[in-house]
Amino acid sequence: MIDRNTNVQITDEALAFAKPMLPAVVGLKRYSTIVIDPPWEVKNNLKDVRYYRSGSQRMPYEQMTDRDIMKLPIENLADENCDLFLWSITSKIPVCFELLKWWGFKYIDFLAWDKEIGVPVNGIYRSVEWVIYGYKGKMGINKSGKFINSMIREKRTTHSKKPNAFYDMIRNNTKENRIDMFARELKEGFDVFGNEVENSVNLELYANNGR
């Protein structure tokens, strides 16, 4: 359950905090399409898998807690009508539904990326990452002719790098302006934010309502 006026609870992790309600952003670029690939905080004991083991081997990027991800100013980045594509690992799917509600989006569908390579987890060979699609206002994706395929098959390359086919589909089937949050590289048709690229936006301005 989410109470936008008091606090929020994310599943059993009990991440509760007050959320400031800012007035609408004035004079800042707003986005009709937002792709976000959060640097999820991963905690487990898969000791035989690179980047997922405990001890000295760590993820090759800074991670964020679920609470910090929720605090991202997505509402201020989003235009009145906006499509949101939220990347998720399997264990964070419940959190993603809370994020959509918290940011003011309605859940619609899943996309799946078959990476053709994976890791065994609890007896299941996980080779899939997920994209949760939601929208606010009116849906902006193309509903005739070209479509966004719900299954993407492309072999994983660099850790955390998302498939080119995904960006091609989004670029061809969604409205501008578009932004790729936590991008690893520049993509045609997208503004970008992340610590591995030259940012197109100053996120602090959105967090502070343009001040």
What is the chain's length? 211
With cut-offs at 50, 70 and 90, classify the pLDDT of residue 116: confident
With cut-offs at 50, 70 and 90, classify the pLDDT of residue 24: low
Mean pLDDT score of the chain: 81
State the average pLDDT over residues 110-139: 91
The pair phi, psi for residue 130, each rounded to 5°, is -120, 155
Nearest to 61 by CA among 77, 80, 39, 79: 39
**What distance in Å separates the CA atoms of residue 19 and residue 10, rounded to the nearest whole number?**
14
Counting other chains too, the contacts that 185-190 makes at CB distance below 8 Å and 24 or more residues apart are: 185/161, 190/35
Q: Is 172 helix (H, G, I), strand (E, B) or coil?
A: helix
With cut-offs at 50, 70 and 90, classify the pLDDT of residue 95: very high
Amino acid at site 186: L
Calculate the CA 9 to chain-centre distance. 19
Amino acid at site 142: N
DSSP letter for 46, please. -
Asked if residue 3 has pLDDT above 50, the reply is no
Pair of tokens at residue 56: 């000295």
Question: What percentage of the chain exceeds 90 in pLDDT?
Answer: 49
Counting other chains too, the contacts that 7-12 makes at CB distance below 8 Å and 24 or more residues apart are: 8/70, 8/98, 8/102, 10/66, 10/67, 10/70, 10/94, 10/95, 10/98, 11/94, 11/95, 11/98
With cut-offs at 50, 70 and 90, classify the pLDDT of residue 18: very low
| Res 2: pLDDT | 44
Asked if residue 136 has pLDDT above 70, the reply is yes
Residue 10 to residues 62, 89, 121, 179, Cα–Cα distance (Å): 21, 16, 23, 26
Q: What is the pLDDT of residues 40-62, one digit of tens each?
A: 987 654 444 454 444 444 555 57
Query: Taking the complete model, does pTM exceed 0.85, yes or no?
Result: no
More confident residue, 28 or 135: 135
| Res 208: pLDDT | 78
